[in-house]
């Protein structure tokens, strides 16, 4: 038996743990594993340049490494979903080429480690007769049908670290510091990172904000003799008008590259409050680097489970984490809708209870 594995979309701490978990489990069963390079693109390459043979000798020790030994891309020939609703069909000629290569290599099933977009592609390949097992991956933690994805813990830990650092300089200078973090549709990184890192205000894509409310809150803090204020803003957060701040529109090649909301918010805070304000964008620092212990364990468990799902031929299913247990769900359940922060949910209520402002009142 020969199986394939690829990761697709943005990289994510814990990807190498998934690869190691899958390769070790397959080796115990006497199976061979082929790792495809640069996401789905590796499926299109003739000869040997699109893949590498993986065995435990190759994957021992990779668990502690960030990124992915297979390389990845969030662009290219297999993009099937742009944004939340922009679903398109992967061209038939591309699917046929991938199928022919999988047949040439004798691969019976393919593990696809990806987020919403990559799993949408995976589902289309499954519908075209390729045996797929999905593994959920995203630092944004916005996939439905799984309570958590690996990578999220590492990402929001980076936010906490950044806030700890910003706090000392903000206190010294009596400043407002605005930290822009990732999270295009869902504000989980901003919410968890902000709460754990002691942010005073958190702006999320799920809760439209008004600068007047935020400015009033900051002025009230000043009146209460607070030396500084920390504001965390998710890249996908927006005013009540719904306008997103973007750096680049990649057209049909990929998602709009968000970025810049932190600078905008900082500028208006300074104008409205008269308080010296600085902005900082955490960017890919929250996606790179060493995975946390939790992400290594979660990745490992997901990789092992993916191979078990091939054993039981549960194709079209995705590994899923629910109530401390790793199980599986149909991929369609994971990509049908995004898991976003509930503005009336327990986490937001808890944050409000400890005085965190969301800019909506």
Positions in the binding site for ligand F6P (CB under 6 A): 10, 74, 115, 138-140, 182-184, 235, 257-258, 287
Using DSSP's 3-state secondary structure scheme, residue 344 falls into coil
Closest separation in Å from C-beta 311 to ligand F6P:
30
Closest separation in Å from C-beta 287 to ligand F6P:
5
With respect to ligand F6P, which residue has the nearer C-beta, 12 or 95? 12
Closest separation in Å from C-beta 81 to ligand F6P:
12
Closest separation in Å from C-beta 231 to ligand F6P:
19
Contact of 264 with 245, CB cutoff 8 Å? yes
Contact of 29 with 1, CB cutoff 8 Å? yes
With respect to ligand F6P, which residue has the nearer C-beta, 31 or 152? 152
Q: Tell me the C-alpha distance between 204 and 184, whole Å.
A: 9
With respect to ligand F6P, which residue has the nearer C-beta, 8 or 59? 8
User: Nearest to residue 189, comparing CAs of 287, 296, 84?
Assistant: 287
With respect to ligand F6P, which residue has the nearer C-beta, 140 or 200? 140
Closest separation in Å from C-beta 310 to ligand F6P:
26
With respect to ligand F6P, which residue has the nearer C-beta, 182 or 233? 182
Taking CB positions, which residue lies at the least distance from ligand F6P? 182
Sign of the Cα pseudo-torsion (216, 221, 223, 226, in order): negative
With respect to ligand F6P, which residue has the nearer C-beta, 3 or 191? 191
Closest separation in Å from C-beta 199 to ligand F6P:
18
Q: CB-based contacts of 96: which residues, under 8 Å, 6+ apart?
A: none
With respect to ligand F6P, which residue has the nearer C-beta, 4 or 114? 114
Q: How many helices (H) and strands (E) does the chain have?
A: 11, 15
Contact of 9 with 70, CB cutoff 8 Å? no
Q: Which structure tokens are listed for 144?
A: 């439905």
Strand partners, 143: 338
φ, ψ (nearest 5 deg) of residue 185: -105, -25
Q: Tell me the C-alpha distance between 18 and 137, whole Å.
A: 10
Q: Which residue reads 């407002």 in tokens?
A: 176
Q: Which of 11, 96, 116, 140 is catalytic?
A: 140
Contact of 114 with 7, CB cutoff 8 Å? yes
Q: Tell me the C-alpha distance between 172 and 170, whole Å.
A: 5
Is 249 a residue of the active site? no
Closest separation in Å from C-beta 277 to ligand F6P:
24
Strand partners, 281: 180
| Cα angle 347-352-353, degrees, rounded to a multiple of 5 | 95
Using DSSP's 3-state secondary structure scheme, residue 24 falls into helix
* Positions marked catalytic: 140
């Amino acid at each position: 038996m020969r199986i394939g594995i690829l990761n697709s979309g943005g990289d994510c701490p814990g990807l190498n743990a998934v690869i190691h978990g899958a390769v070790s489990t397959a080796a115990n069963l006497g199976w061979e594993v082929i790792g495809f390079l640069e996401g789905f693109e590796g499926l299109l390459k003739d000869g040997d340049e699109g893949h590498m043979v993986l065995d435990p000798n190759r994957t021992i020790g990779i668990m502690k490494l960030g990124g992915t030994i297979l390389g990845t891309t969030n662009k290219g020939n297999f993009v099937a979903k742009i944004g939340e609703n922009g679903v398109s069909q992967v061209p038939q000629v591309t699917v046929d080429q991938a199928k022919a290569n999988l047949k040439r290599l004798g691969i019976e099933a393919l593990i696809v480690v990806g987020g919403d977009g990559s799993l949408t592609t995976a589902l289309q390949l499954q519908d075209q007769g390729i045996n797929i097992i999905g593994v959920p991956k995203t630092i944004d933690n916005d996939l439905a049908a799984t309570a958590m994805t690996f990578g999220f813990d590492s990402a929001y830990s980076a936010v906490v670290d950044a806030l700890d650092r910003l706090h000392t300089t903000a206190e010294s200078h009596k400043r407002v510091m605005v930290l822009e973090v990732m999270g295009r549709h869902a504000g989980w990184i901003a919410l968890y990172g902000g709460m754990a890192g002691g942010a005073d205000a958190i702006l999320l894509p799920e809760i439209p904000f008004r600068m007047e409310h935020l400015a009033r809150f900051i002025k009230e803090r000043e009146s209460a003799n607070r030396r500084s204020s920390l504001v965390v803003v998710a890249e996908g957060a927006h005013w009540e008008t719904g306008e997103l701040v973007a750096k680049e529109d990649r057209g049909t090649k990929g998602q709009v590259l968000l970025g810049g909301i932190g600078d905008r918010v900082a500028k208006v805070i300074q104008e409205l409050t008269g308080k010296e304000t600085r902005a900082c964008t955490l960017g890919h620092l929250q996606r790179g680097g060493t995975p946390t212990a939790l992400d290594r364990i979660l990745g490992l468990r997901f990789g092992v489970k993916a191979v078990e799902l091939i054993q039981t031929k549960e194709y079209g299913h995705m590994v899923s984490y629910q109530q401390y247990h790793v199980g599986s769900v149909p991929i369609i359940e994971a990509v049908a809708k995004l898991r976003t922060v509930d503005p009336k949910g327990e986490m937001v209520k808890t944050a409000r209870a400890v005085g965190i402002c969301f800019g909506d009142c």
